[in-house]
Structure 1
Amino acid sequence: MKLLLDENLSRRMLGILEPYFPESSHVSFVGLEGAKDTEIWSFAGESNFVIVTRDSDFSELAALHGPPPKVIVLQISNCRWRDMASPIIKKHSNHSGPSTT
């Protein structure tokens, strides 16, 4: 599974997430900085990304359109970017360890 981090998440999270989710990216690295949610939605669906965000608008798009793409909405109060990556890794680690690819 590869993740696409929304603008409201730090790009620095990729360094922590990469061992678990290779080929993940941030919207700013794929030319979507400042893009509309619908543009990010379309790109993620076409490119097999799971959107990771703190924005509930993507939940509404998911309810309206259904997958793909899938959406992970982090409902975490303001905290450090490292702490935001933790629940994603923990959930993934319950299913498998870091990727060896």
Structure 2
Amino acid sequence: MPATFLIDANMPRDTIAVILASGHDALTLHDVGLRDAPDSDIAEHARQSGLIIITRDYDFADVRTYPPRDYPGIVVLQVPDTGTAPMISALVRELMLRSDVIDQLPGRLAIVEFGRVRLRDS
């Protein structure tokens, strides 16, 4: 079953194409009227709308602020600050190939880096 991802503002534009090409759905913050919204508003919208957040923002990895069990899924990409758009897109592409991980996202936080995914429940 396709998942629907909410793409954070710090992600490259072609993230949406990578996700759609994998058979999943994707929305940007602009699509949902949250382009300049604080993280708390983004998280609440994702929770209420059943959207999986995909971001490079480590604030979303704070399980005290954003308990994974309360969300349809949170994906935080671990890339260097110098990470290029093609590098980030390649990491998203790698994640999209992992249906075993995507199927486990509801209620979990995934920290994704090249060759490794760590899942946390809380």
TM-score bin, normalised by smaller chain: 0.7 to 0.9
Query: Among residues 8, 11, 36, which one is paired with 2:10 in the alignment?
Result: 8
Q: How far is 1:65 from its partner?
A: 4.2
1:7-44 deviation digits (Å, cap 9, x = unpaired): 00023211121133533111121111010000000000
Question: Kindly tell me: are residues 6 and 29 of structure 1, through their superposed partners in 2, closer, same or farther at Cα, counting changes over 3 Å?
Answer: same
Relative contact order (C-alpha < 8 Å, sep 6+): which is higher? 1
When normalised by structure 1's length, the TM-score is 0.78
Q: What corresponds to 2:71 in structure 1?
A: 68
Task: Name structure 2 gaps, 5 residues minimum.
Answer: 104-122
Q: What corresponds to 1:89 in structure 2?
A: 96
1:20-73 deviation digits (Å, cap 9, x = unpaired): 35331111211110100000000000100010000011111x433422142100
Structure number with the higher helix fraction is: 1
Task: Name structure 1 gaps, 5 residues minimum.
Answer: 97-101
Question: Kindly tell me: are residues 94 and 69 of structure 1, through their superposed partners in 2, closer, same or farther at Cα, counting changes over 3 Å?
Answer: closer
Q: What percent of counterpart residues are identical?
A: 23
- Contact between 1:17 and 1:85, CA under 8 Å: does it hold in 2? yes
- Contact between 1:13 and 1:85, CA under 8 Å: does it hold in 2? yes
Question: Kindly tell me: are residues 59 and 83 of structure 1, through their superposed partners in 2, closer, same or farther at Cα, counting changes over 3 Å?
Answer: same
Aligned residue pairs, count: 95
Q: What is the RMSD of the two structures over their aligned residues, measured on CA atoms?
A: 2.3
Q: 1:14 and 1:31 mapped to 2: Cα distance?
A: 16
Q: What corresponds to 2:49 in structure 1?
A: 47
Q: How far is 1:94 from its partner?
A: 7.3
When normalised by structure 2's length, the TM-score is 0.66
Structure number with the higher strand fraction is: 2
